Amino acid sequence: MKNFVLVHGAWHGGWCWKRVLPQLRAAGHEAYAPTLTGVGERSHLLSADIRLKTHIQDVIGLIDSEELDNVVLVGHSYAGMIITGVADLLLQRDVPQLRHLIYVDAVTPHPGESWSSQHTAETIAARVKAARATGGVSMPSADASAFGLEGPDREWVNRRQTPHPFGVYQDPLMFDAQRVARVKRTFVDCTSPALPTIAVMRQRVRTEPGWQVVELKTGHDPMVSQPDALARLLLE
């Protein structure tokens, strides 16, 4: 039995894994989908004090409180930053807990990089400007059509998205790359349509050693648009 910990990306919450969780559990595994501080049903906690380390601790706290081992960490989009930081902390412990890191169309950071590091100057400027309008507290969500969603799926995601804490956007992540590279790592490349802000990561995982790359012909939110295919991939 594996313990899947599914970490959502920006503007989302644990709700976005609703169509995937039952399939993992039906296959005999445990599956958890925490909501990060300041978004989703925890949006009442939104503040300028939320930093990248806050979200890393959210996930560490779940793993510790549930006493999980044999963990498969799954990070979507921005959460590639989080699962990398979580992995670095878990691997410093005497008891091995981590089995696999799965980056779902996600950021694959180098030490010292932030979520924003590989974004274009235009994207960074737009997000900084949007955050200034909130006093530096948050960034508004994009319409879910940007993630390749249409019809009821687009409406479902748009209704649930919440502003994302801005404090995490430019926080650098310091970690031991060699330590994290000891864990099996898979990148799920969502190719249709491909989200432009993930372009550098798509190239990175194809040129650096240690990565397995799997393609899904769907948009940036496969847990919504192709939950069956994503669940099968995770189980494999």
Residue keyed to tokens 């806050």: 54
CA distance 201 to 205: 6
CA distance 79 to 186: 14
Are residues 59 and 7 in contact, defined by beta-carbon separation less than 8 angstroms? yes
Question: Would residue 113 be called left, alpha or beta, if left means φ above 0 and alpha means ψ between -120 and 50 degrees?
Answer: beta
Residue 90 has which token pair? 């878990």
Q: Are strands 184-190 and 211-216 parallel, antiparallel or unpaired?
A: parallel
Catalytic residue among 47, 65, 77, 114: 77
DSSP three-state, residue 226: coil
Does 145 qualify as catalytic in the annotation? Answer: no
Residue keyed to tokens 């100057």: 121
The residues pairing with 57 across neighbouring beta strands, listed in sequence order, are none
Residue 91 has which token pair? 């691997």
User: Pick from 102, 108, 109, 107: which is nearest to 214 by CA?
Assistant: 102
Residues acting as catalytic residues: 77
